[in-house]
Structure 1
Amino acid sequence: MNQDEYFSVHAGLTINVEPLPEQFSLPDDQAFLQEIPPLFRVASECSELEHNADKVLQQESKSMNRTLLDYLAAQNNKINLLLAFVLRQQDDPAYRQLTETFGASQLTYVSQQPLETGNQVRLKLFLENPPAAVYCYADVQDCQPVDGDAFQITLHYTRLQEEDRDLLIRAALHIQQKMLRQRALQRSEKQ
């Protein structure tokens, strides 16, 4: 699948955007993997384990005791709360932004500081569902003035683990499902 074929959703994710010097060259794949902070790797692995366990539990839920399922869900929620709290410690207020849209190939956000098209940034994305954080690099695809002295910036991922791309897809799907449920609820309330 071509990266441009991924869809984006309108959602406000907390991100850290660290502009890099113009002469910066991206690390190769091996150096990139070694550079990823351990907490981001742990979060990615935990999210993958949870996703796999969810699939198994959905298949086996009819034959399992409801009390046991509720207990496992409560334990999972506690772990997710703790993981989300620990990941938030990686959020640097000096680089904090909020996305307008995000997907598995790119994101957009509005900033008071313009970025030069083609420049590289180090990027951290903090996901709420699944609770995880993504560490990657991106280049500035576009920077357009909006609303006076603000700029809408589009970043395209240039170094991103496939597992993290899957996380972004799941996060986008979760938000899209949530929006569809809200829309259906609003329609039913109007009737």
Structure 2
Amino acid sequence: MFPESSGYFSVPHPFDAYISLWPEDQALPDEDQLQSMKSKGMQLMSEVKALEGDCLIHLRQLGDDGRAIVEYLKLQSRKVDLVLQHLLEQEARDGQHCIGLQFGGSGVRLQSEQALPRNAQVKLLLFVREEILSVLCLARVSDCREDPDNPERYLLDLEYSVITEAEVEQLVKASLVVQQKQLKQRKSSR
């Protein structure tokens, strides 16, 4: 688990991640520089997510009258998100592919073929397919240990170091949605 001081909980859920070590002699980028490092597809996805989030907040204030409109716009938004996700999946990925095990608003846990030194900075690209979420950020390795279930792999805990507020918000929302789905599944399987 991540430290309690992180401020956000994390949820176990599989996802894809790509990591590459950030050069020690290179300063960490600021949010604007991080934004310019994103592919066109990721930039589009970020803009669409921000716009739809703002729009849905305003429409929900309409109450019962706006419910049908909100549902219709959610459907339209989902279609746009699926097309953008398909485009993102076609883009080349740099870095080592890792299996995502857990994510939240403060960091992620990955399973990796490679051990990484604690406190190393990495460029992290993550994709939570079910929630149509893609994030590019920098993260610090807070822990690295052998995976007890698979001794040929390592468990990496990463805490975000450079990430936009909008993407933290998206990660938090996605983790809440995933947790809700998991609770419903548990309840129905009883």
Q: State if a TM-score over 0.5 links the two structures.
A: yes
Asked if 2 retains the 8 angstrom alpha-carbon contact of 1:15 and 1:125, the reply is yes
- After TM superposition, the structure 1 = structure 2 runs for residues 89-128 of structure 1, keeping only pairs within 5 Å, are 89-90=90-91, 92=93, 95-128=96-129
Q: Give the AA of the match of 2:115.
A: P
Q: CA deviation at 1:180?
A: 1.2
Q: Percent identical across equivalent pairs? A: 29
- What is the alpha-carbon distance in structure 2 between the residues aligned to residue 13 and residue 46 of structure 1? 21
Structure number with larger C-alpha Rg = 1
Q: Which runs of 5+ in 1 are unaligned?
A: none
- What is the alpha-carbon distance in structure 1 between the residues aligned to residue 135 and residue 35 of structure 2? 12
Asked if 1 retains the 8 angstrom alpha-carbon contact of 2:121 and 2:139, the reply is yes
Q: CA deviation at 1:177?
A: 0.8
Q: Which runs of 5+ in 2 are unaligned?
A: none
Question: What CA deviation, in whole Å up to 9, does each residue of 1:91-119 have, x standing for no partner?
Answer: 62752212111111111111111111121
Q: Give the AA of the match of 2:160.
A: Y
Q: CA deviation at 1:130?
A: 4.0
- Aligned positions, number: 185
Moved more, 128-137 or 79-88: 128-137
DSSP-derived class of the 1:43 partner:
helix
RMSD between superposed Cα atoms in Å = 2.5
Q: CA deviation at 1:54?
A: 3.1
State the partner residue of 1:77.
78
State the partner residue of 1:137.
138
Q: CA deviation at 1:69?
A: 6.2
- After TM superposition, the structure 1 = structure 2 runs for residues 40-79 of structure 1, keeping only pairs within 5 Å, are 40-60=42-62, 62-63=64-65, 66=68, 71-79=72-80
State the partner residue of 1:174.
177
Q: CA deviation at 1:57?
A: 4.2
The normalised TM-score by structure 1 is 0.83
Relative to 1, partners in 2 of residues 1:123 and 1:91: Cα closer, same or farther, differing over 3 Å?
A: farther
